Structure 1
């Protein structure tokens, strides 16, 4: 049963090397992200950031302080990974995991990264594309896809489990596919060692000699296609 989650209130696109732009409408591309946004990437688990109006109201924040792409009337704290949302007639999203508050938020308001806690917003992937605009209704369609963990170490495990035989994964690409900043690369050797011997050698630093082909991440989100939830024409 669909759940009414209110309206889409605002849209912002973040072009590469430019400040975010509030948009009267946007085009979402299945399996890719928002057209023209720097985070649009077929293998990224964080194509979009959804923020909720309650977080803005509770902290008295200026517009776009949370750097979201979509501002929703709903409170994103209640969202769960694996759930699917529909916005407007055709645009559907796969909820991935909550967005970690970073120090960059403090430029808008001192101490915001600490005060925001778990209310920064939810990261998501585009399943079926379409045009959206403020005022579109948002509906929850339920948990239609596997959940991704909040713990980044467990997301690293998911990515390494998808590594094709005969391939390795560079640390920076592992960070990208697991949805963490490149600064996490220095923590990878210890984290991977704790996963056990089966994971040894699957991920390598950039300086490692190219003995095996490096996996770019294609096929990581094949479950979306198998479930028939992604646009057939998407990347």
Structure 2
């Protein structure tokens, strides 16, 4: 069940508690600063158990959706049905950052892989506090928690005879643009087939630049019929 919801409108940094959110398929939360069709980080999902175990203040994890059950162990690619309409796709665990230390001594180090899970909106709809949540299966491709592997995944998905700007590659892989400075060495280590696929924004190339179109495309999973057992147990079940 959804225990809490929050949004960060453009121009704000602190999460604002709300009683409902409108999810937009393929884009994120309507009115949220992180709404981005080419990002795997459209939503942050967290668990009340993490707050209880670490004695955290409300919104310390800066999540958009707070669940009353653990979700950290669900595999990437799992689709969650939220309420009657919305579906979200789990992408990868959110990395801990130094900002967490503002909410507790060495919290960034202590929290490990329990910061929460990043997700994309598969099917839009309005979600509310108290809505039920259930897993309907690992229906979509998994994404790695390792950002190096995500960069490889993005390039592997590119159409042949195209290149991609470093900044867009970072967005698609779900990392900050400051990581772009590491791309030349990383791509060189992957081999020539990768080294030539990503370029700086001002670099000249005879090949068209890929815009990321289709990377996250998938047939929208249909809700599990009421007469059939769910594809995976309800979230939080033993």
> Counterpart of 1:127 in 2: which secondary structure?
strand
TM-score, with length taken from structure 1: 0.89
In the TM superposition, structure 1's runs of 4+ consecutive aligned residues that sit over 4 Å from their partners are none
Structure 2 distance, partners of 1:170, 1:130, is: 33
Unaligned runs of 5+ in 2: 223-238
User: Which residue in 2 is equivalent to 1:4?
Assistant: none
TM-score, with length taken from structure 2: 0.88
User: Which residue in 2 is equivalent to 1:17?
Assistant: 11
Structure 2 distance, partners of 1:78, 1:184, is: 27
Structure possessing the higher relative contact order (Cα contacts under 8 Å, 6 or more residues apart) = 1
The structural deviation recorded for 1:41 is 1.2
Post-superposition CA distance 1:48-72 (Å, at most 9, x none): 0001111100111111110111001
Counterparts of 1:180-195 in structure 2 under 5 Å? 180-195=175-190
Q: 2:221 pairs with 206, 212, 229, which one?
A: 229
Counterparts of 1:60-71 in structure 2 under 5 Å? 60-71=55-66
Post-superposition CA distance 1:148-167 (Å, at most 9, x none): 11111111111111222343
Q: 1:115 pairs with 107, 110, 113, which one?
A: 110
The structural deviation recorded for 1:183 is 2.0
Post-superposition CA distance 1:92-145 (Å, at most 9, x none): 011000000011111222311111101000000001111111100110111111
User: Which residue in 2 is equivalent to 1:73?
Assistant: 68
The total of aligned residue pairs comes to 221
Asked if 1 retains the 8 angstrom alpha-carbon contact of 2:122 and 2:220, the reply is: no
> In terms of mean alpha carbon deviation, does 83-92 or 201-210 score higher?
201-210
Unaligned runs of 5+ in 1: 1-6, 231-235
User: Which residue in 2 is equivalent to 1:172?
Assistant: 167
Structure 1 distance, partners of 2:200, 2:95, is: 24
User: Which residue in 1 is equivalent to 2:127?
Assistant: 132
> Counterpart of 2:72 in 1: which secondary structure?
helix
